[in-house]
Chains A and B, each alone.
Chain A
């Protein structure tokens, strides 16, 4: 048998190689290197670590990353719908995966060990269209120096932020541009109820100096003293603290919104076997330990250890988040938000 003829994927005449591989496909699963195009919104500085860790167990699968912010990657995936270029999505917001799943763009697959994941961390369908990795939790980034300079007390709850002393010192993301912003808005509506929720936002609006287009920006602005308080998320706050930012991370008492980071196989992938291996690995214990290096809450119960600079109370303050409600009502909520705050938001 001419098994040794298997040609490395990237060399030689492509057609020839393809024909040959097709002919040999049934013969053996030789150790040729598979390549996966993986779309992700993971932090850029984590990519190498994630790929290295995966390759320790699967040296025969090469990961080619395409990384960008959540909005851009989701837009790119949707635009490529007719002719998908990604094999796997590893590390994208759960709400984005819901949209892709609705569009029939995901390949349902039950990774080995998926049943061990916490209940909210996998698609309810069987087999699941996506599986969760970790949670990404809202938090306040508070700049110690700026608070002192302006004589502001550190807020403990969402309601504290309504105090007029904070006027002009709070920045939050615009929910129409940023998933993190929508996370906050939908969590307030779920926590306080619709009427109270909007009333809360009316009050908060009076104190907000501006709305940004990116979810991490408020925290970065707090880190460099451009604002005293940024409504953002805990992972970013911990990262910036590591870099030396004078930040305190506050998890409001009433509870905070959160969002999954999740993975899925893209329907139509030419590397289904390799994609399945990556999915299997993405729910494994080793993967969850990896997620835990940056995130305090991960999909596999019992794994999580405290993360440096991460407020420990985060876990119990995560609200019961109804993702399908948030997704179904998104257009309506954003329309209302824009008419309330966008149209009249340029006082100066």
Chain B
């Protein structure tokens, strides 16, 4: 027996009576979601990736591009490098994030809200910022380069370090959702049965978060496999698949070969889809209708250990941010370290100044509001609608794809699809709308999996009870399901806001003169050698995301206290 407590395995919702009106509504919504996903994910990707079967003049040539690609000697090196790097980054970041998440959800250590905010630092800052910090710490002029014991930061060490920092918050978000939803009765049962802490961990805790762990592993693996940003700044000449993509698309404007690499990078996501379906069948609803929320009891040794651990990780993240903050005041690193505020006069700098910042703010707000709404609803519908497998599978597959699509592929795909003269939607191209849509799509998977993890752990019996009381499902959704999932919903919206403030790789192809963004301004300043002003812009972005996060937290704390009062009862 691998778990102490197991509900009989059933397909969601077969258990209770269902009013057909509810299902009709769900199916209508499912169809709408699927349609929107097809238009914003499948069609654009097809318009880009289909080029892998064509030559430069658009002639169909079958698999010739693939043959050419596979005959290249450097390919195998790039593939093996990619897998080694992604594998290592995945293992390390999962371990770190799991422990951190465990500390935040399952212990009584103090300062939890603070640690939660600190853990988001990599998300709040554009990915350029950790790279700048890593160079200032460990570069040839770095203040702590001795720590690497003669190894260079420009290579695998730097890439893995940069990637772990970058994906840490995403992994943490999925794992925490999983860890925070559990039934205290399982632990009571375990202690009644005299199971020791280790046995309890392996028979109750781990099986309960299995789905979250698998999701997080796939997300992190795919993200690290397809990311180019870290490899570009810190990677030196260590070849990975994502750099191949950059060389083909940006270096040589060879969209056909770029499409070949882009297609290859989709493979892990397709694998993830099947693993997800397998895990889905195994997952057990943890928060049953009769579930008692788990609230950890003080345990001196454990709490102290996690306080120490979280402090260590937190300090590292703060040091990273601190170094970048310092960099933003330095006149010319490393030779003229006079501090000044002149780097914050953005209107004197190139790159759009404060106007770009307001554009970013606008885009981030729109992305957070519409993204959360759509993503959560789609996740709910896909979990609670029954029958209609093809449509639901389509949704499931399409929501997993975006994580495997590198930003530059997505950006170009959007140009090809939305700018086509015969596309009735081409009016959107060049405006804010297309940028918001592309950003939602770009960060869809992590948000979706967070939502699904939360919904999965909610017993479908809740809706069944609602239905038997003749309460329409939308009302049960608003009164019970949504409040239950509120923490996850808030996580998703702030995640989308922060990523929209910092995103670069896809929107760089889509902005127009009126919709220039702060993150791109930052990249341009760095490109022009103005590292300090670039770090300054990054700091403004970080401060904005942090204040939104705090504001959000303050505003919703009361709301959530009210909505989740039952938990304390």
Contacts and interface: CB of A to CB of B under 8 A. Distances in A.
B255 A226 contact: no
A67 B419 contact: no
Interface stretch (A79-87, A116-124, A273-281): A79-87
Given A85-B419, A348-B152, A213 B246 contact: yes
B262 to A, nearest CB: 13
Interface of A: 37, 43-48, 64-69, 71-72, 74-76, 78-80, 82-83, 85, 99, 145, 174, 176-178, 209-211, 213-214, 216, 219-220, 223-227, 236, 239-240, 243-246, 330-331, 334-335, 338-339, 342-343, 345-346, 348
A96 to B, nearest CB: 8
A272 B168 CA distance: 51
A331 to B, nearest CB: 8
Nearest to A334: B252
Top-4 shortest CB links A-B: A44-B350, A45-B350, A64-B513, A71-B250
B361 to A, nearest CB: 21
Interface string B206-246: 00000000000000000000000000100011110001001
B412 A79 contact: yes
Interface residues of B, number: 58
Interface stretch (B71-79, B191-199, B437-445): B71-79
A76 B415 contact: yes
B335 A225 contact: yes
A43 B500 CA distance: 25
Contacts, number: 153
B350 A244 contact: no
A345 B81 CA distance: 12
Interface string B522-542: 001101111100000000000
A293 to B, nearest CB: 15
Interface stretch (B134-142, B312-320, B544-552): B134-142
A43 B250 contact: no
Interface string B459-479: 000000000000000000000
Nearest to A345: B237
Contact of B412 (A69, A75, A210, A225): A75
A220 B135 contact: no
B419 A83 contact: yes
Nearest to B68: A335
Chain A contact residues, majority secondary structure: mixed
A226 to B, nearest CB: 5
B126 interface: no
B6 interface: no
B336 A346 contact: no
A81 to B, nearest CB: 9
Contacts of B155: 346, 348
Given A65-B513, A178-B251, 5 more contacts: A79-B419, A177-B247, A211-B237, A343-B77, A345-B237
Contacts of B530: 45, 243
A226 B141 contact: yes
A236 B232 CA distance: 20
A330 B97 CA distance: 46
Given A79-B255, A83-B420, A346 B250 contact: no
A224 B141 contact: yes
A47 B349 CA distance: 11
B511 interface: yes
Contact of A79 (B141, B232, B350, B509): B509
Contacts of A177: 243, 246-247, 250-251
B528 A66 contact: no
